[in-house]
Amino acid sequence: SKGEGVLAGRKVVITAGPTREAIDPVRYISNRSSGKMGYALARAALAQDAEVILISGPVSLPAPPGVEMRHVTTAQDMHEATHDCIGNADIFIAAAAVADYRPADEKTQKIKKSGETMSIELVRCPDILQSVAALPRAPFTVGFAAETENVDEYARGKLENKKLDMIIANRVGADCGFDTDDNAANVFWSDGEQRFAKTQKSELANRLIALVAIAPEHICGVIVSVETAVRTNTVGDNHIELLLLELAACILVDVLGFSRKTDRERRRLQRRY
Ligand code: CTP
């Protein structure tokens, strides 16, 4: 189906996996992220004919064929790789579990044990997601929120604080979320939400990509895809309805100067024409 997917002609940048922050030449700080969700999203976007760049921390997954890979190790590497290729991206999805802190200085020699306790000073890593959302010509920016409690409330907080277009919230814990093959998700955007029951990450990824592709603020970018989306039946009936409503709203914004959109959204719509 080359060229007929809902993301044909779109560039999608995705971060995935953990980062590693070196303590000394043999030790690092990292987390339990397997990269499975980010890799599944890359495959799903590729299946919808997007050009996909996957910026991946160290994981043990094979590179999805057809996806352009950028392998990185640290949060700083991931930050640089992201900004290197984000320029003309249409969609950015931050699925990586980026370290929030790294050791203040990386020791050049292995640290030897001495006292009964020891401490390592940590400093903040750059927030990649926030830095992309803050770009003057930001792509449609999607974040993840992995929470152990108050999932919806914390996720909505991140949507607002980081000025994201959409956030995908997961409950994580000993039994779910990280390093598993299935996942559930609650997705929030400025004026809507959708809940996805627990399913295989590959299936969840397909549904999330379908949602991102027809997301309201992105709608002008997919006008050309509406016809193929309907023909290939890749979006559900209720989405088609939403799509048509939003198209009508875009035309009102543009032709009549009527606006129910924020400045930021309007700028993005204008960029699309
Ligand atoms: N993220 C990022 N760069 C960072 C930290 C996080 O891009 N340095 C992205 C992640 O890829 C994810 C989202 O931000 O999409 C997670 O938001 P964050 O506020 O970092 O979540 P937590 O790490 O869970 O934060 P907190 O501990 O404050 O809940």
pLDDT band at 194 (very low <50, low <70, confident <90, very high): very high
pLDDT in tens, 213-229: 987 554 444 444 555 55
Which of 119, 40, 38 has the alpha carbon at shortest distance from 72?
38
Average pLDDT, the chain: 86
pLDDT in tens, 171-181: 887 666 677 88
- Hey, which residues does 18 pair with through a beta bridge? 97
For the CA of 154, the nearest atom of ligand 1 = 29
User: Does residue 81 surpass a pLDDT of 50?
Assistant: yes
pLDDT band at 182 (very low <50, low <70, confident <90, very high): confident
How far apart CA 24 and CA 7 sit, in angstroms, is 43
Using the Cα atoms of residue 142, residue 209, residue 237 and residue 243 in order, give the sign of their dihedral. positive
DSSP one-letter string for 97-133: B--SEEESS--SSPPPP-SS-----EEEPP-HHHHHH
The residue annotated as part of the active site, out of 31, 88, 150, 161, is: 31
CA 181 – ligand 1 centroid, Å? 21
Which of 171, 172, 81, 192 has the alpha carbon at shortest distance from 131?
81
Query: Does residue 31 carry a catalytic annotation?
Result: yes
Burial class (CB in 10 A: 0-12, 13-18, 19+), 76: middle
pLDDT band at 187 (very low <50, low <70, confident <90, very high): very high
CA 77 – ligand 1 centroid, Å? 16
249 touches ligand 1 (CB under 6 Å):
no
100 touches ligand 1 (CB under 6 Å):
yes
| C-beta separation of 42 from 96 below 8 A | no
pLDDT band at 259 (very low <50, low <70, confident <90, very high): very low
Of all protein residues, the one whose alpha carbon is nearest to atom 8 of ligand 1 is 127
201: its two tokens: 């990450």
Residue 191 pLDDT: 81
Residue 236 pLDDT: 61
User: Does residue 272 surpass a pLDDT of 60?
Assistant: no
Residue ranges of alpha helices (H) inside 48-200 are: 75-85, 128-133, 151-161
Which whole-number Å values give the CA distances from 237 to 5, 133, 139, 241, in the listed order? 17, 31, 27, 6
CA 145 – ligand 1 centroid, Å? 7
User: Does residue 249 surpass a pLDDT of 60?
Assistant: yes
- Mean pLDDT value across residues 73-99: 97
